[in-house]
Amino acid sequence: MSDLAISAGSVRRRGVSSFLARNRRISLGGTVILLMILAAAFAPLFAGDPDSMNPMIRLEAPSAAHWFGTDSLGRDVFARTVFGGRISLAIGLSVAILAVALGILIGLPAGYYRRFDALVMRVMDGLMSIPSILLAISLVALTNGGVPIVITAILLPEMPREVRLVRAIVLSARERPFVEAAVAGGARTRKVLLRHILPATFAPLTVQGTYVCASAILVEAALSFLGAGVPPSIPTWGNMIASSQLYLGLAPWNIFFPGVALAVLVLAVNLLGDGLRDHLDPRLARSL
Amino acid sequence: MAAYTLRRLGSTVVVMLLVGIFVFALLHIAPGDPAAIIAGDNATPAEIASIRQQLGLADPLSVQFVRWFWHLLHGNFGISIFSDTPVITLIGQRLPATLSLTVLTIAFAVIVAVAAGVLAAWRAGGVLDGSLMGFAALGFSTPVFVVGYFLIYFFSIRLRWLPVQGYVPLSHGLWPWLSHLILPTVALGLAYVALIARITRASMLEVLAEDYIRTARAKGASTEAILFRHALKNAGVPIVTVIGIGVALLVSGVVVTETVFNIPGIGRLAVDAITNRDYPIIQGVMVIFSGAYVIINLLVDLTYTLIDPRVRY
């Protein structure tokens, strides 16, 4: 009896490291994301001041003093790149979490109540057909912008995919024997939805959530680049690139470093998503 | 088929109506007086009053919406505040540049992506497959404007092979037109190529595992015949679906690409309208782009039977 317990424990402990070794995309993507979150969180401790201007050192090439060079106002590109990650990560994560939450909140009843379903699905079709960048541009033109507006603007066109996913899972789960058994046993609808159907959505939603996060980071960067994103006083990878476009020939590092940071972060999130997808449900790989 | 077409047309009309409601509602949900928003920051009270009159803001919202939508259907998209020109005229002037860019991009992306996807599926698990799919993952993760500036830096500034920015109409000659569109097409198309190539590979892999592929191979069909005649034809439906869905990606990309490459297209029109808070223009561009997306996906749905006669509605 005790032998069995010990072996189960050691299997579990070996499990974590062998899991990471077997799923290289999850460990690689996860490590890069974790490093970027740590860098963004502790930015004030090591990156220096992203806003201090110095006209004496405008557009300097990367050096020991300024690892990523300086921009047209003499600001340190390294500091701005590290601080810029904060907005990308914060918006990517909050849009992903909100999209998943709304997906569950709207998708669960939509999959269960036919009337509600028809209405919700048409509204989702409509939302999906409005290009996210244009929706954001119009929201920013109508209001005064700011982070909550940017999050709303990215969330609205992203959320329908979550709703559709949850609804599809509910539709197939309600035909399964264990749900029928619960209904036959007299369980109330609320309980059937929350206790028996909801857990089936967790794995696919985790995967889809990472894709939403990647997509939200890209849209935020594009909005900042177009001048329709967060206020220009906050450094973001998008507005760093926009404000340096005139100096592309003179000081390409101003565009290179935030551009590479953006691509690496999105690639890492997508890798994590692909790895999770293949690990959690190989069948899902084909249906998505 | 006829019944399906009708049903599909019906749902397209419903979706367009909903898009109209969203676009209309945005102006009225936003805090503040719609007339003041439309009139802009420097408007006099008299101008605001005249816009209120022109929009009929005193009427109930439903009446306003029906009137607005009715005007849309007749091509009346309102009047730009900044230039005092009908929005539809401005969009018309910008249409050739945007159409050139998008049509070239779709053609380029579909050819490159389907070829890459078929090759990757043929050599699945090998080095070619690995590098093609690695490249696709990178293309899918790099924003349009980053790719755009990298291309401009290497091909225009360093190598001086292609013009840096701008647009030249087709009427000024084929090469001047094309040379200005090569870099924008590649930048805009990269994510789209990645998306289509991944689906093509997945769909081809599924088909290549079928019995009739083994049969074709057994009777001595050549590799090209198996890949393109037998497999690609049967793998077509998911590929065409993703080409349609991917247009959404393209539309958002057009706005950014036109800004990076300084192309006077419809997307650029909307971006310039942000600074002037020219809301009628933004509204018009939203309706046009959403409409294009909905119609392209309607056409895609209706072509399924042409690609695959087994599809029944």
DSSP chain A: -HHHHHHHHHHHHHHHHHHHHH-HHHHHHHHHHHHHHHHHHTHHHHS--SS---GGGTTPPP-SSSTT-B-TTS-BHHHHHHHHHHHHHHHHHHHHHHHHHHHHHHHHHHHH-HHHHHHHHHHHHHHHHS-HHHHHHHHHHHS---HHHHHHHHHHHHHHHHHHHHHHHHHHHTTSHHHHHHHHTT--HHHIIIIIIHHHHHHHHHHHHHHHHHHHHHHHHHHHHHT-SS-TTS--HHHHHHHHGGGTTT-THHHHHHHHHHHHHHHHHHHHHHHHHHHH-TTHHHH-
Per-residue model confidence as pLDDT tens digits over B2-31? 787 888 888 888 888 888 888 888 877 776
- Would you call A267 and B30 a contact, using CB atoms and an 8 Å cutoff? no
Burial class (CB in 10 A: 0-12, 13-18, 19+), B138: middle
pLDDT of residue B112: 94
Partners of residue B270 in chain A, C-beta under 8 Å: 134, 137
pLDDT of residue B75: 81
ipTM at complex level? 0.84
Partners of residue A218 in chain B, C-beta under 8 Å: 141, 143
Please name the member of B21, B282, B293 whose beta carbon is closest to the beta carbon of A141.
B282
- Would you call B153 and A270 a contact, using CB atoms and an 8 Å cutoff? no
- Would you call A134 and B282 a contact, using CB atoms and an 8 Å cutoff? yes
- Would you call A270 and B289 a contact, using CB atoms and an 8 Å cutoff? no
| Positions in chain A short of pLDDT 70 | 1-15, 47, 59, 64, 66, 74, 281-288
Partners of residue A255 in chain B, C-beta under 8 Å: 146, 149, 153
Chain B residue with minimum CA distance to A153:
B26
Token pair listed for B120: 């990757």
Q: For residue A129, give the nearest of B52, B202, B290 by alpha carbon.
A: B290
Residue B312 has pLDDT above 70, yes or no: no
pLDDT of residue A66: 67
pLDDT of residue B313: 55
Residue B126 has pLDDT above 90, yes or no: no
Q: For residue B204, give the nearest of B244, B172, B235 by alpha carbon.
A: B235
- Chain B closest-CA separation from residue A193 CA (Å): 29
Our CA angle for A280, A285, A288, nearest 5°, is: 115
- What interhelical angle do B247-260 and B279-307 show, nearest 10? 140
Q: Average of pLDDT values for B164-180?
A: 86
Disruptive mutation site among B18, B26, B141 for chain A (greatest number of A CBs within 10 Å): B141
Contact A239, A232 (CB under 8 A): yes
Disruptive mutation site among A123, A130, A132, A262 for chain B (greatest number of B CBs within 10 Å): A130
Partners of residue A226 in chain B, C-beta under 8 Å: 255-256, 259, 271, 274
The span from the first CA to the last CA of chain B, in angstroms, equals 6
- Would you call B252 and A143 a contact, using CB atoms and an 8 Å cutoff? no
Disruptive mutation site among B12, B98, B146, B279 for chain A (greatest number of A CBs within 10 Å): B146
Partners of residue B279 in chain A, C-beta under 8 Å: 138, 141-142
Contact A130, A258 (CB under 8 A): no
pLDDT of residue A283: 58
- Chain B closest-CA separation from residue A179 CA (Å): 30
- φ and ψ at residue A234, rounded to 5 degrees: -90, 125
- Chain B closest-CA separation from residue A239 CA (Å): 11
pLDDT of residue A21: 72
Per-residue model confidence as pLDDT tens digits over B127-146? 888 888 888 888 888 999 99
Which own/partner pairs from B187-190 qualify as long-range (CB within 8 Å, at least 24 positions apart)? B187/B144, B187/B145, B187/B147, B187/B148, B187/B151, B187/B257, B187/B260, B187/B261, B188/B101, B188/B105, B188/B144, B188/B250, B188/B253, B188/B254, B188/B257, B189/B105, B189/B108, B189/B109, B189/B112, B190/B139, B190/B142, B190/B144, B190/B147
Q: For residue A221, give the nearest of A40, A29, A85 by alpha carbon.
A: A85
- Chain B closest-CA separation from residue A243 CA (Å): 12
- Chain A closest-CA separation from residue B286 CA (Å): 6
Using a CB–CB cutoff of 8 Å, tell me whether B37 touches chain A. yes
Classify domain A31-287 by CATH number.
Answer: 1.10.3720.10
> In 10 A of CB A224, how many CB atoms?
27
- Chain A closest-CA separation from residue B27 CA (Å): 7
- Would you call B256 and A134 a contact, using CB atoms and an 8 Å cutoff? no
Q: Average of pLDDT values for B74-101?
A: 87
- Would you call A137 and B206 a contact, using CB atoms and an 8 Å cutoff? no
Disruptive mutation site among A33, A36, A121, A134 for chain B (greatest number of B CBs within 10 Å): A134
Mean confidence (pLDDT) of chain B: 85
Interface of B with A in 61-90 (CB under 8 A): none
- Give the A:B interface size as CB pairs under 8 Å: 148
Q: For residue A215, give the nearest of A105, A106, A95, A116 by alpha carbon.
A: A95
- Would you call A140 and B274 a contact, using CB atoms and an 8 Å cutoff? yes
Please name the member of A142, A266, A270 whose beta carbon is closest to the beta carbon of B279.
A142
- Would you call B279 and A141 a contact, using CB atoms and an 8 Å cutoff? yes
Q: Tell me what percent of the residues of chain B surpass a pLDDT of 90.
A: 20
Please name the member of B21, B26, B141 whose beta carbon is closest to the beta carbon of A138.
B26
Q: Name the H helices within B152-278.
A: 174-208, 211-218, 223-224, 233-234, 236-245, 247-260, 266-276
Per-residue model confidence as pLDDT tens digits over B255-294? 999 999 999 999 999 888 877 778 888 888 989 998 888 8
